Amino acid sequence: MAEEESLELEVSDEPKSKKKLILFGSIAAVLIVIIAATLWLLLSGDETAAENSGGEAVAEVKASDKREAFYAAMPRPFLFNLPGNGRTRLVEIKVQLMVRGKDDDVLIKKHIPLIEDALLTTFSGADVQKLSTLAGKDELRLLALLNVQNTLQPIIGRKVVEKVLFTGFVMQ
């Protein structure tokens, strides 16, 4: 009789382990499907949203991305003083502008004095505390890009500069 009880216990454990295996397998399958669906929506949703919103602007960006990138270096670095924390800091920034296509490169070189003025105005209004951090430098770079684009927009009629790049940055 003791042997029968032990056999019955062993037989009854097998269906529970099979049920656990099926349960864990189904949970794993559901998680894989959810992860795959989420990745598919995230990766395909960006293209669809970009195509649906601002059709002409997106088409212009896609057309400009196909052209070769040119980098127009400013002829001299920007040197300026910034007051902060009881002492004045000397800052030197070397800048290059990224444009698309040879025609835009020629346009940028034609308007270098105007671009230098816009950049110097932007840089001299910076804060020493912000320039000490990477986020502050990124914010200054974005502000410089917007200022250059807004300065050139009335003259050229479109946004020519795609990026402002800091190729040298020294603060003493």
Q: Which two tokens stand for residue 110?
A: 């034609």
**What average pLDDT does this structure show over 127-146?**
91
**What average pLDDT does this structure show over 6-23?**
65
**What average pLDDT does this structure show over 115-136?**
90
Residue 154: pLDDT above 90? yes
pLDDT of residue 71: 93
Q: Is the dihedral of CA 121, 98, 58, 40 positive or negative?
A: negative
Name the CATH architecture for the domain at 68-171. Answer: 2-Layer Sandwich (3.30)
Counting Cβ atoms within 10 Å, is residue 90 exposed (0-12), middle (13-18) or buried (19+)?
A: exposed
Residue 59: pLDDT above 50? no
**What average pLDDT does this structure show over 19-26?**
83
Distance of CA 56 to the CA centre of its chain: 22
Lowest mean pLDDT among 4-18, 80-94, 141-155: 4-18
- In the chain, the amino acid numbered 67 is R
* Percent of the chain whose predicted confidence (pLDDT) is above 90: 40
Residue 48: pLDDT above 50? no
Q: pLDDT digits over 80-105, tens only?
A: 888 877 888 899 999 999 999 898 98
